[in-house]
Structure formats: C-alpha cells, structure tokens
Chain A
Amino acid sequence: MMTKIAFVRKKEIPPSAPPITEVGLIGWLRQNLFSSWLNSILTVLSVYFIVVILWDFIPWAYGGHWNTKSLRECLDLDPDVACFSVLTARWKQLLFGLYPAEEYWRPTLTFMFLLLAIVPILFPRFFRFFWFSIIYPGLAVWLLWGGSFWSISIVYIGLTLGALFFLSLIRRYLKNYMVAAILAFLFTAVFFLFISNPLVGLLNVILPISLPFVESLKMGGFTLSLIVGVTGIVASFPIGILLALGRQSNLPVIKMICVGFIEFIRGVPLITLLFVASVLLNYFLPPGTNFDIVLRVVIMVTLFSAAYMAEVIRGGLAGLPLGQHEASASLGLTYWQSQRLIIMPQALKISIPGIVNTFIGLFKDTTLVSIISLRDPVGLASTIRADQKWNGIYWELYVAIGLMFFIFCWGMSQYSQYLERKLKTDK
C-alpha cells in the first residue's frame, strides 16, 4: 500500500541570503568592531581620536608650504600650516649628512647595491647570487669612504688565498682540521703583515682605481643610520649565534667568557657604551691615533646587539625538546653537523619574532649616536634648527624622520611575518 503523498519537493530549496546583519559591510563591522559592548565603546573612542588627530593633521600637512626660503616666510604666508620648505632645503642633508654634494651618487649606489645584496639572503630562490652579498661589504666601504680600490680588495684577496690554502692543505696533506686552520691563519697573517702593503702599492701603480676620500666626519643623515644599523644587524647575528652556543657549551672557559660578555653588555646601557667609544677610548689610545669614530660606534652597537641576539637565540634553543639533540647525536652527527642541520634551523625559526625585534630595536637605537655628536637624522634636526632661517621648526622635521624610520622598521616587520608564514610546518 502506498501512502498518498501530496507533495514532494523535487529540488533543494535554494539557500536564502544570510541575514543582512551577518554579511557584507555590516556583518564585518558587527563581527570585528561591534561584537560586544566593550568593543563598541572602544571602536567609537578610537574613531573619535583618529578623527580628532586627522582633523588637525590633514589641513596642516596638506596645505603645507614647500617652497619658501625660511620659517619666517612660512609664518608670514600662513602660520597654521606646516612649513615643509625645510625639507625642500635640507632633504639631501637628511639623507646624506654632510657628504660632498658632487659625490651623492656614491651613497645612493651603495644603498641600491644593498637592496640587491640582501635579496639572496632574504629569498632562497635567488641564492645563486649570494656571491654579490659576499663582495658587497667591501664594495660599500670603498664606495662610501673612497680611497684606493686595491686597499679594500686586498682584504678579499688575502682572505680568499687563506681559504684556498686551508682547503688545499686538508685535501692533500693533512687530515687534522685544527692544524690546517692554524697554518692557514699564519699564512694569512704573513700575507697581511708583509705582502699586502707592497702589493697594494704595486697595483696602485699598475692600475690606479680610486675614489676621492670622504672622511667619517662627513657621514650623516640616513646614510649614517643605515651604515650603523645594517652593519650592526649583519654582524651581530652570527656573533649572537656563537654566543648563544657558547653559553650552552660544556667547556667551562668558553661558557664563562660568553656568560660574562652577555651579562656585562646587557647590564650597561647602550649610551654608556657609546660614550666609551667616543670619549674614553681616546684616552687609552696613543695620541694621533685615528681610530675612526664611525667604526668605533659600529663595533659598540654590534657588540651590544649581539648580546641581546644571543639571549633571543638561547630562548629558541631552550624551546627545542631535548630529544632533538639526542636524536641527532644518535644519528652520529658531529656537534657542528647537528647544530647546522637539526638544531639551528628549528631554534632560529622559533626565534624569528625575537630576532627581528632586536634588529628593529637596534636600527632605532642608532639615533642615540646624536648624543655623541654624530650627525644622524636626529642630530641633524638640531643642527638645522640652529640655522636662523629654520630656528623654531620642530614637527615637520620629526614627522619626516619618523616616517623614514617607520618605512624601514615596517619593512623588516613585514618580512619577518612573511618568513614565519613560509616556515610554518605545523598547522
């Protein structure tokens, strides 16, 4: 017997549109900005503050003067808007410091090469261009400071010869790495002590390539921030790794040195170290010694940041389960092999936020050098204000400097987030 069925739906009911309060703009707003009473209040307050600030800032910035000759002229035209003319007049100084104007192409080129040189480091698919990242430091030093091309190249030549010597030793004669390394070190030392100077002299005669020398006194602006910041970042990373490993080492002497160094540096404010670099070192060096001030500052900043880096990486190492060490040991890997293949890749991945944090902090800390008389952008701001034409300019300069720093720091932070996403293996 069949049941009489009055109606059978043949098709599925088309889904009705979701309630208007759950999708589209309104839905997004409800979910993200007004999901609860507290959120709603916070949203309204935030919008209020943003509007209040922009209400003043936009007319101030948008109507700003760009082409007056002095602050007085700005004020006479319209005192209520920004006087960006100071940037028109001084942007080159903010970028290059007191670098000679006819040589501006050198820091510019150095910066462009920097972008090229970091690409192979940041993105593995360009790793075949890594050789450029290796020669870049020497190239940058030569471009920025000038002088003979050969006196920089000789460093590379010497180190390459040393490395080749080391490799050929262990390949043909010696199986003992330690002895080979010591011999290679002696070989390199002899090269730099006795051979390099005459060789540079000879090369200068045969093929003189040189740029006009620019002294460190002239370095300033963002060029200086980048010199100190980038060198500090690049150099502090490997030193930090070694310190972190040293701190966990089983060899008491190495461990003590590393712990002592890290704790000492972390216990002293950066500005104190900078004062030591700028002031105190001069007392201990023989008079007339020209120990470059920028180099001194770079060394101090690097050491400072390396100590922090070491602790960040130690955090990453501590985050790894002990089983990883034991597993690599049971595979028969040596200490360095296991560090290189098993431990470090994982530890560094965990530490990425902390590492980038330290980098960004270091880059911003470069503004502290203005206290020891170097003309970084913040130092230049007070120099510019001392020109009667611009005496009294305040916000315009700091807004511009802040914006520049923001671009660099934001870029670093974006890259770290990209890297974290890319290396994410657990879902």
Chain B
Amino acid sequence: MKKLFLGVLTALALAAGGTFAGTLDDVKARGNLLCGVSTGAPGFATVDDSGKDVGFDVDYCRALAAAIFGDPMAVKFVGLTSAVRFTALAAGEVDILARNTTWTYSRDTDLKQTFLGVNYYDGQGFMVKKELGVKSTTELDGATVCIQVGTTTELNLADYFKENGMSYEPVPTADNAESQQQYLAGACDTYTTDASALHGTRVNLENPDDHLVLPEIISKEPLGPLVRHGDDNWADIGRWVLNALVIAEEKGITKGNIDSWKDTKDAEIHRLLGTGDDDILAMVGLPKNAMYNAIKAGGNYGEIFENNLGATSGINIERGVNASWTKGGILYSPPFR
C-alpha cells in the first residue's frame, strides 16, 4: 500500500516534472530565480538586521541570478527547513536548492536530484572545554555527547565510537542552539555537529579561548547546490556558475579587478569573461558575459568564502580543504573550454 502510494506520488511528481522541461525558460519568463536556502544556518543563509538575505549559499544564488539576468538581485529566497527542503524542490516551489545540503548517494539517486558540485567541504567535529584536557577525539571514551537527534551526525557519531572501540552517552537535543546551551550548562562533556557550525558557535561564547574544536573530522559532509532530475541544461548552468567562481579564484579574478583582464593572454579567462571571440555560453542559453556578471555579483569563490565564513564574517573558518587545489585544498574545477 505504501509502495503504491509512493508510486502514485512519484508518477505525479514526474508528470509535474515533465512540464518543467525548460527551467531556464520558466525562470526567464518569471523574471526572477527562486532559490531555496536555509531558514537559518550561520554563515550559509540568514537575514541581517535590515532584513536582507545574506550568506554563503545566498551569494551563490545571487551569482546564478546575475549570470541569467545580469542582476544579482533578481532572485527570491525561499527559506526552507530541513523537513521540507527536498519536497519543495521536487514540487517546483524553488528552481534550485542551495541549502547546506550534504551530497549523498541516496539523495542523488532515490530522491531524484542532481547535485551540481560541492561548494563547501564540511565534516563533523567536536567541541570541548579546554579544562577537560582533551586534545583528540580518541580521548573521548566514556564522554557524554550532546547530539542533535535525527541527523546524519547522530549516525556518524555512533559509527565513529564503535569503530574506535569507545563508549559514549548521548544527550539528545533538538538543534544546535540547544546543544550549545546544554554544553555550556555542563550537561555534556562535548558537543558535536558540522565543524563550520562549531567554529561559528565558539567565536560567540563568553570566553572562546576556554573552548577547543578538536582537530579530527569524523565524517565527510560535502555540501552543494542541487536541482531536480530531468533538466540537464539547467543543472549545467548551476554547475558551471559554481565552477566559474572557483576558476575565477584560481586565476586571481576578483570583484575589484574583473575589468582589468581584457588584455590577458590567457584564453580561458577570455572565454570565462566573454571578452574573447567565441561565445561558448550560448550552448546553455546564457548571455556571453554571464560569468562576468556572476563573478561581479559577489566576487570569486574565495571572496564569497571570506565574506560569509572567513575572517571578515567573524566566524573565522580557515580555508583548509576548501582552498583551491593550487593552494593545497581540494577545490578543483574542470577546465572552462
């Protein structure tokens, strides 16, 4: 019965998806991009004091809107909780989901979505009080751990402690804010969630120096934007806007100096910025200067990172694996050719 119900749902979703053949055309006709972001994830998406949408995922969508319309403001942000994000995408409430979502096999296949790449390599970490004297996660045997229930982090935690032959006592919480309160109140020795969130939380504790984010990352959480199955051209557009931002950083193209590359000998830069002769962006239905506009919107990947997650943002996350491959990280875009 359940199978039948799901089957009917899928059939309806597919029928619905069928009419979405040209997401780009729909978006152009509507005049703005509908971008699903988190209702609140530090550094990734929130609204600032003046009500403006800000964040790492927000800036990616602004770049995408700039690529399509030449206007980074031609985007409507739809805040989505984790409970409704995938259905909102599948049902066409948003054109693209950039909601610090981990790319996993089942989400890619079973949920019929296309991940466009990785815009942030996250991983699960632990925070402890320095007075505990713990320097590594391997010393956490027997610890009480504050853990958000119903998340992948809960499963990772169980796996990790089992693999290392350690025991722990979980203290279940509903969200990061509650984990933090429990941890500060002494209900648990350590609390675990994505390392990006741990850094953001630590900076705003009463005495950040009394707390330590342990160096080990126990899981892979590659976060990235995703779209529905069934519109490869739309997926290509999203993927290559992301790649363009990465290439721009690799080549040293920034928001500030983007206009000074007209005389460069680097043919890839000309292709990217649309300053050369060949217009390869016509292949996906974008204007020749689409990537120029995308980079101009919020800067290259590195600038977006700095503004939302790095030193400028106050969260102070280091680039680490999220640095370009030329600087020891694993960010690597296929060539723009």
A279 engages B181 (CB within 8 Å):
no
Q: Across the interface, name the chain B residue whose C-beta is closest to A397.
A: B177
Contacts of A33 in B (CB 8 A): none
A283 engages B42 (CB within 8 Å):
no
A372 engages B49 (CB within 8 Å):
no
B149 contacts the other chain (Cβ, under 8 Å)? no
A98 contacts the other chain (Cβ, under 8 Å)? yes
Contacts of A383 in B (CB 8 A): 39-40, 46-47, 79
A388 engages B42 (CB within 8 Å):
yes
Cα-based distance from A382 to B313 in the complex (angstroms): 18
Contacts of B45 in A (CB 8 A): 386
Q: With contacts A287-B92, A288-B92, A392-B204 known, is A89 near B49, CB below 8 A?
A: yes
Query: Which residue from A287, A372, A385, A391 sits with its C-beta under 8 Å from B16?
Result: A287
A392 engages B205 (CB within 8 Å):
yes
B267 contacts the other chain (Cβ, under 8 Å)? no
B39 engages A382 (CB within 8 Å):
yes
Cα-based distance from A384 to B315 in the complex (angstroms): 15
Q: With contacts A283-B9, A383-B40 known, is A373 near B204, CB below 8 A?
A: no
A371 engages B83 (CB within 8 Å):
yes
A387 engages B84 (CB within 8 Å):
no
Cα-based distance from A45 to B205 in the complex (angstroms): 35
CB distance from A32 to the nearest CB of B (A): 37
B203 engages A90 (CB within 8 Å):
no
CB within 8 Å of A: which B154-192 residues:
175, 177, 180-181
B46 engages A386 (CB within 8 Å):
yes
B200 contacts the other chain (Cβ, under 8 Å)? yes
Contacts of A275 in B (CB 8 A): 83-84
Cα-based distance from A391 to B279 in the complex (angstroms): 45
A283 engages B16 (CB within 8 Å):
yes
Contacts of B12 in A (CB 8 A): 283-284
B13 contacts the other chain (Cβ, under 8 Å)? yes
Cα-based distance from A155 to B1 in the complex (angstroms): 43
Cα-based distance from A72 to B315 in the complex (angstroms): 12
CB distance from A163 to the nearest CB of B (A): 38
Cα-based distance from A210 to B90 in the complex (angstroms): 35
B177 engages A394 (CB within 8 Å):
yes
A389 engages B314 (CB within 8 Å):
yes
CB within 8 Å of B: which A96-137 residues:
98, 101
Q: Across the interface, name the chain B residue whose C-beta is closest to A98.
A: B51
A379 contacts the other chain (Cβ, under 8 Å)? yes
Query: Which residue from B16, B91, B313 sits with its C-beta under 8 Å from A279?
Result: B91
Contacts of B315 in A (CB 8 A): 388
Contacts of B49 in A (CB 8 A): 89-90, 387, 389
Contacts of A71 in B (CB 8 A): 204
Q: Across the interface, name the chain A residue whose C-beta is closest to B81.
A: A373
B13 engages A283 (CB within 8 Å):
yes
SS class, residues of chain A in contact with chain B: helix
Query: Which residue from A283, A385, A389 sits with its C-beta under 8 Å from B91?
Result: A283
B93 contacts the other chain (Cβ, under 8 Å)? yes
Cα-based distance from A382 to B48 in the complex (angstroms): 12
B206 contacts the other chain (Cβ, under 8 Å)? yes
CB within 8 Å of B: which A280-318 residues:
280, 282-284, 286-288
- B interface size (C-beta, 8 A): 49
- A interface size (C-beta, 8 A): 38
Q: Across the interface, name the chain A residue whose C-beta is closest to B83.
A: A371
B87 engages A282 (CB within 8 Å):
yes
Q: Across the interface, name the chain A residue whose C-beta is closest to B41.
A: A386
Cα-based distance from A82 to B180 in the complex (angstroms): 17
Cα-based distance from A89 to B49 in the complex (angstroms): 6
Cα-based distance from A282 to B181 in the complex (angstroms): 37
B76 contacts the other chain (Cβ, under 8 Å)? yes
CB distance from B243 to the nearest CB of A (A): 27
Q: Across the interface, name the chain A residue whose C-beta is closest to B314.
A: A388
CB distance from A255 to the nearest CB of B (A): 29
Q: With contacts A384-B40, A388-B43, A388-B313 known, is A72 near B203, CB below 8 A?
A: yes
CB distance from B217 to the nearest CB of A (A): 21
CB within 8 Å of A: which B196-221 residues:
200-201, 203-206
A217 contacts the other chain (Cβ, under 8 Å)? yes
B204 engages A217 (CB within 8 Å):
no
Q: Mark B87-117, 1 if CB is under 8 A from A, else 0.
A: 1101111000000000000000000000000
Contacts of A279 in B (CB 8 A): 84, 87-88, 91
Cα-based distance from A101 to B38 in the complex (angstroms): 22
A282 engages B39 (CB within 8 Å):
no
Contacts of B200 in A (CB 8 A): 388, 391
A375 engages B42 (CB within 8 Å):
no
B20 contacts the other chain (Cβ, under 8 Å)? yes
CB distance from A162 to the nearest CB of B (A): 35
Query: Which residue from B43, B55, B78, B201 sits with its C-beta under 8 Å from A392?
Result: B201
Contacts of B264 in A (CB 8 A): none
Contacts of B180 in A (CB 8 A): 392, 394
A278 contacts the other chain (Cβ, under 8 Å)? yes
A79 contacts the other chain (Cβ, under 8 Å)? yes
A196 contacts the other chain (Cβ, under 8 Å)? no
B257 contacts the other chain (Cβ, under 8 Å)? no
Contacts of A392 in B (CB 8 A): 177, 180, 201, 204-205
CB within 8 Å of B: which A244-299 residues:
275, 278-280, 282-284, 286-288
CB distance from B192 to the nearest CB of A (A): 17
B81 engages A98 (CB within 8 Å):
no
Give the interface of A toward B (CB within 8 A). Answer: 70-72, 75, 79, 89-90, 93, 98, 101, 217, 275, 278-280, 282-284, 286-288, 370-373, 375, 379, 382-389, 391-392, 394
Closest 4 CB pairs of A and B: A386-B40, A282-B91, A386-B46, A383-B40
| Between-chain CB contacts (< 8 Å), 27 pairs | A75-B204, A75-B205, A101-B50, A101-B51, A217-B78, A279-B91, A282-B91, A283-B9, A288-B19, A371-B83, A372-B81, A373-B39, A373-B84, A382-B175, A382-B177, A383-B39, A383-B40, A385-B177, A386-B42, A386-B43, A386-B45, A387-B49, A387-B54, A388-B314, A391-B204, A392-B204, A394-B180
Name 17 extra pairs, CB < 8 A, besides A383-B46, A385-B177, A387-B46: A75-B205, A90-B49, A101-B51, A217-B76, A280-B87, A282-B93, A283-B12, A371-B81, A372-B83, A372-B84, A373-B39, A382-B40, A383-B47, A386-B39, A388-B315, A392-B201, A394-B181
